[in-house]
Structure 1
Amino acid sequence: MGNKDKGKTSTNLNRAPNAFLYGLLYILCWLLSKLIFRTGYKRTTDFKKCDGPMLIIGNHSSYLDAPLTLVGAGFKRMHFVGGDFLYNKKTEKFLDWLGIISKNQFQPDVKTVLRLVRTLRAGRRVMIFPEGQRSVNGSSSPIAPQFARLVKRVGVTVATIKCKGSYLAWPRWSKGFFRPGKITVESDILLTPDMIAAMDSEMIHSKIEAALNISDYDYQLAKKKPGKYLTSKPAAGLDTILHHCPACHQPHSMESSGKTLFCSICGWAVKLALDGFFINTRETKRPIFTRIDKWHQWQQQQLATFFAENEDAVLTFTANLQKRRGRELSPSIPGQVTLDAPKLSFKPEEKRELAALLPESENDEDFSTILSFPRVGQEGLYARYGRDFRQANRLGTWVITPEIKSWPIVVHDWIIMQ
């Protein structure tokens, strides 16, 4: 957001979200969620009775979570914390009326924290997804320990709104639109001010992670019969997340044909059923994994093992680099990305192209050192899987577009290595 946006957002927090617009959204979201997803809303008595400032948290499985949590909170108007990428000329006024608190994803954002604290101290309610991004594989993502320290600092009631089934209804990697199927939304109180006062940040962090440890596959298996999420191409786009073949162990080898995920090297194939689980094809006797999250966890372990067993391990790939300037992007610069255990580096084919984007004081002979991004300290990855991802350093925010579509998920898995 630019300076204009920041000033306006700050003023916005003096008032609650526009009641008329919020009410219209509530009715619309409730109606569509019932018609399309047969959504069941469950609110505990404690949640219904709770009044005053509240920090409401939820798991982040898909784009559906925001409208579902809006309804899941009942008639408690909330300020949502949302990524600054939501803002543009068309959405700015709408988000302004809703009192959205914008945030730079996966970057320190002191101003956002201050706005959130002021909003709670003004007696309002704030809704935030602590994972910071939509789930990649249907299971929960890590939550930064700093969030627990924020909870300790504000000391207000913490509530949860859990969405189950929303990942399968609109998976992050999907090339299509949403998939009609059953969703359940549950609202409850997690921590009271007295409980928070008696706990340290570590205990709060464990409590929050346990509460938001939600898997859509466990949700399916808990039913007598797993539900279906309707689409004509259930596996389309899944190869941008699952690239490593579990049969021949070759990375960057998986391709999608709509209903099937197959290895372009060994020919092993598996189908994705409408309930979200893998089933065998005529050529494959049984799937090696039945769940996307288990396959992805295995894939992550393969990468971690590669670096752990080889001290000098390095991965390289060709990509184009662009610098973000507000909402604009600089011209593309071709080059090579290098991944080793501690950092990601970019080296341009032509040094003078990168020099034009850097201050004179930064122009030295080794541009790979200048455009270096440490792995430690990165809380997550802003990425459009199958397309590009972002990295940030003191020189700005950079968009990296690999030639091979599976590299963004490799970078994601590299960041979260233990």
Structure 2
Amino acid sequence: MILQLKSTPSSPYPPFGRVASELAFRSSVIAFSKRCWHLELIGDQYLPPGPCFIYGNHSNNYDPFIYNAFTELGQSTAGVMTMEYLRSGVLSLLFTAAGIVGTEKRVPEPHLIRKIWKMIEQKRRIVIFPEGGRRWHGRPDPWIESTAKVFMRLGVPVYPVVINGSYVGWPRWATYPRPAHIKVEVHPAIDFSDNPTLESSLDRLKKPISKDENVVSEAVKPKRAFRPISGVTKLLYRDPYTGHFGGLIEQGANRLVQRHGDQSWTMNPDSSLIHDQTGKRVLTADMYESIRTLPFTAANQEALLSNVADVQIIENDQLVRAYRRERISIFKDHLSMAPGFRIPLDEVQYTGLERNNKIWILTPSKRVIATFKYEGSVRAWQDILNRIIPELNC
């Protein structure tokens, strides 16, 4: 069923709060985006003012602002964003005024559709990233199927927009950006006129943004980078030869070396790696895929993974306990998150990653947030939990 848009009278001018927030973003993060990357828009003739949905690949934290580098004042996009920037503070106020609504990744939220519908009635262009967050390795992640249902049923055009250079311009794991040539390519709206099945609709929606972002043209690649290696062990969290967690070390500006061994790699500005011993070029995504599937080696009573992190335990949206520099561990049947505080694995309902150093774990009664400021990889934690709890986040 396709919902029908109401004809509601509205002012031709956007609300003051929206314009004020837009000016704040244009003078800060959008200005930064224009200075950091060479931005180019291709195919803008396909994108009328609105209402409509815009979706695309998402690896760079600045992707939503890169879209708005090409909009006129008063015509900024609305959108759906993960809650990490909408909990409190000035940024939360600015995003809310701009028409951004928050969501928890992959957690059912029936109220969200009402908020999206209200934005459509206001004739807004709505940006939604259907994979639920930034890609870690520049390759497509599973879609949130409910997003495809929204696209199919709300009766407005749905435009794929590919950001070529999103990943090589600033990978999620990286500390610093790289000055890439980012090309924003608007594609024609997806056609749902034949009432396709959900499976067929997903195929149509995924196809335009399914490109491996590690592989880009020479025109897009950054030619230089400041300390490109910084942060890569958040993604490459195991030694691909030995399987040891934390077995790779960032060295200097662009080298990755084994902690116990003689293998090493040099990172290029586009985040690909050159194996120093053989000269072979390897994509960070390929190395990540190889370590993500390595077998576990812990005995039954040993932790699969153990790190030091800051921990918050939240009940009914209230912080009840907080720990600094706490040892937290994943075992085969439970999580140890604080002294005397265990979470049986069969109580874990959802997990999510915020930024590149924070994981939240949701149970029927609690939310536990661990922030990795000192060591370790939140990506490693989520990968392991997804392997030992196959139904997690489904």
Q: What band does the TM-score fall into relative to the shorter chain? A: 0.7 to 0.9
Q: For 2:323, which of 317, 332, 353 is the aligned residue?
A: 332
Q: For 2:51, which of 46, 53, 57 is the aligned residue?
A: 53
Cα drift, residue 20 of structure 1: 6.1
Distance 1:202 1:106 in 2: 18
Do the aligned partners of 1:322 and 1:331 also contact (CA within 8 Å) in 2? yes
Residue 203 of structure 2 corresponds to residue 206 of structure 1? yes
Q: For 2:226, which of 212, 228, 232 is the aligned residue?
A: 232
Counterpart amino acid of 1:373? V
Do the aligned partners of 2:334 and 2:344 also contact (CA within 8 Å) in 1? no
Distance 2:178 2:318 in 1: 31
Residue 233 of structure 2 corresponds to residue 242 of structure 1? no
Q: 1:345 to 1:153 in 2, by over 3 A?
A: farther
Cα drift, residue 335 of structure 1: 5.7
The CA RMSD measured in Å over matched residues stands at 3.4
Match of 1:364 in 2: none
Cα drift, residue 51 of structure 1: 4.8
Do the aligned partners of 1:155 and 1:193 also contact (CA within 8 Å) in 2? no
Given the two structures, how large is their TM-score scaled by the length of structure 2? 0.80
Residue 82 of structure 2 corresponds to residue 83 of structure 1? yes
Match of 2:336 in 1: 346
Distance 1:254 1:54 in 2: 45
Counterpart amino acid of 1:18? R
Matches within 5 A, 1:15-414: 18-19=18-19, 21-22=21-22, 25=25, 33-47=33-47, 50-72=48-70, 76-87=75-86, 88-176=88-176, 178-192=177-191, 194-195=193-194, 198-219=195-216, 222-223=217-218, 227-257=221-251, 258-281=253-276, 284-287=277-280, 290-303=282-295, 306=296, 315-317=304-306, 319=308, 321-324=311-314, 326=317, 330-332=321-323, 334=326, 336-340=328-332, 345-346=335-336, 348-349=338-339, 351=340, 354=341, 367-369=342-344, 372-374=347-349, 378=350, 381-385=352-356, 387-401=357-371, 405-414=375-384
Task: Flag the structure with higher helix content.
Answer: 1
Distance 1:162 1:248 in 2: 37
Q: Structure 1: any 5+ residue segments left out of the alignment? A: 1-14, 355-366
Counterpart amino acid of 1:118? K
Identity %: 15
SS of 2:69's partner is helix
Cα drift, residue 405 of structure 1: 3.0
SS of 1:112's partner is helix
Displacement over 4 Å in runs of 4+: 23-35, 72-76, 310-314, 325-329, 333-336, 401-404, 415-418
Counterpart amino acid of 1:182? H
Match of 1:6 in 2: none
Choose 179-188 or 68-77, whichever is displaced more.
68-77
Q: Structure 2: any 5+ residue segments left out of the alignment? A: 1-13
Q: How far does the alpha carbon of each residue in 1:14-58 deviate from its partner, in whole angstroms, 9 at most, with x for none? A: x767246536755877765454322111125332xx354211112
